[in-house]
């Protein structure tokens, strides 16, 4: 072999001997990408996970909670208790105190509830609240959509951004339910908030917070107070229907509320 030939063979041998570095660098790059992907999927966004769980519940529920009298926004089965500390299961308690009530007639053939029946129902609820010293926590009014039992959210839930019922809230709801349990009319629970945006926490919007609050009240009425689920629906309106301008803390407190509406007809809308 000539000198030139030996020199070329030596260069090829050196070049081939360093090719393992390329393979090693590729392997390190792939491992780094793998660990980045594993880290990304290990950090679960609780809000997105909850939204996925709720979406799957709605998709596979054979009996979605769409009621004839519902507004179509959010119904009882549209938001359900799921895994996670933010939605605590409501443990059924013994039925609230009973009260003597007058049997009310069913809606007429046209689906309209007699005005006199709603007036009588209002008097029975007021008496039940007075007996338990809760009359100052609730306001009752006759409106076009029906009998409205309005409770300020600050007196029902643990905190301003919480959807979990507090002890005072369960007492009020149980007292109202002790009367509503025996009547035949449809009940829509409506959740409302003020216009302050939600920053951090479990809920992403006022609409979500108001809807989950309404659902939790419906669950209390059904599971603890014995009201048939076929009579119940839940709707979340967020800050879209204030009863006062959101200009002062007092007005904002009025807008954070739960309305338990005994509908005046099967087709009533707010």
What letter would DSSP give residue 112? B
Rounded to 5°, the CA angle 138-194-192 comes to 55
pLDDT of residue 155: 77
Query: Domain extents for the chain?
Result: 3-42, 65-263
| Look-up of token digits 């605590």 | 88
Residue (of 119, 122, 136, 124) closest to 97 by Cα position: 124
pLDDT of residue 7: 55
pLDDT of residue 146: 92
Q: How far apart are CA 166 and CA 146, in angstroms?
A: 27
Helix (H, G, I), strand (E, B) or coil at 146: strand
pLDDT of residue 220: 92
Do 242 and 88 contact (CB within 8 A), yes or no?
no
Per-residue pLDDT of the chain (270 residues; tens, 9 = 90+): 565 555 555 555 555 667 778 888 888 998 888 888 777 766 555 555 566 666 655 555 544 444 444 444 443 333 433 333 333 333 344 444 444 444 555 555 556 888 888 999 999 999 999 998 888 878 999 998 899 999 888 878 766 677 888 888 889 999 999 999 988 889 999 999 999 988 877 888 889 988 998 999 999 999 999 999 999 999 999 999 999 999 999 999 889 889 999 998 765 444
φ and ψ at residue 112, rounded to 5 degrees:
-95, 135
The CATH superfamily assigned to 65-263 is: OmpA-like domain (3.30.1330.60)
Residue (of 93, 118, 94, 92) closest to 105 by Cα position: 118
pLDDT of residue 153: 84
Helix (H) or strand (E) holding 147: strand 146-152
pLDDT of residue 63: 46
Q: How far apart are CA 103 and CA 47, in angstroms?
A: 45
Residue partners of 78: CB distance under 8 A and separation at least 6:
54, 58, 64, 65, 211, 215, 234
User: For the chain, how big is the Rg over CA atoms in Å?
Assistant: 30
If one counts every other C-beta atom within 10 angstroms of the C-beta of residue 69, the result is 19
Q: Beta 146-152 vs 138-143: how paired, if at all?
A: antiparallel
Instruction: Tokens for 82, please give them.
Output: 């799921």
Do 252 and 242 contact (CB within 8 A), yes or no?
no
Q: How far apart are CA 124 and CA 176, in angstroms?
A: 9
Instruction: Walk across the sheet containing 257-263 and list its strands.
Output: 138-143, 146-152, 257-263, 187-192, 232-238
- Distances from the Cα of 28 to the Cαs of 21, 22, 32, 253, in angstroms? 11, 10, 6, 58
If one counts every other C-beta atom within 10 angstroms of the C-beta of residue 148, the result is 20
Check: pTM over 0.95? Answer yes or no.
no
pLDDT of residue 177: 93
Instruction: Tokens for 253, please give them.
Output: 């407190």
Instruction: Tokens for 235, please give them.
Output: 């709707």
């Amino acid at each position: 072999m000539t000198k030139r030939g030996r020199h070329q063979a030596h260069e090829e041998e050196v070049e081939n001997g360093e090719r393992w570095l390329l393979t090693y660098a590729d392997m390190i790059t792939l491992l780094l990408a793998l660990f980045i992907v594993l880290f990304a999927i290990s950090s679960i966004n609780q809000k997105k996970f909850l939204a996925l769980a709720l979406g799957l519940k709605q998709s596979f529920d054979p009996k979605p909670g769409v009621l004839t009298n519902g507004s179509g926004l959010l119904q009882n089965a549209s938001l359900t208790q799921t895994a996670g500390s933010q939605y605590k299961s409501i443990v059924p308690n013994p039925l609230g105190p009973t009260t003597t009530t007058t049997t009310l007639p069913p809606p007429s053939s046209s689906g309209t509830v007699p005005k006199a029946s709603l007036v009588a129902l209002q008097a029975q609820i007021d008496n039940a609240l007075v007996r338990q010293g809760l009359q100052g926590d609730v306001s009752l009014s006759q409106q076009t959509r029906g009998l409205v039992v309005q409770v300020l959210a600050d007196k029902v839930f643990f905190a301003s951004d919480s959807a979990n019922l507090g002890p005072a809230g369960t007492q009020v709801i149980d007292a109202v339910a002790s009367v509503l349990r025996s009547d035949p009319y449809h009940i829509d629970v409506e959740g409302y908030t003020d216009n302050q945006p939600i920053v951090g926490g479990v809920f992403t919007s006022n609409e979500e917070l108001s809807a989950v609050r309404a659902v939790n009240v419906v669950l209390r009425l059904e599971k603890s107070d014995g009201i048939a689920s076929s009579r119940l629906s839940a709707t979340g309106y967020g800050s879209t229907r204030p009863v006062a301008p959101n200009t002062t803390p007092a007005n904002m407190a009025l807008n954070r509320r739960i309305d338990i509406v005994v509908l005046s007809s099967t087709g009533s809308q707010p």
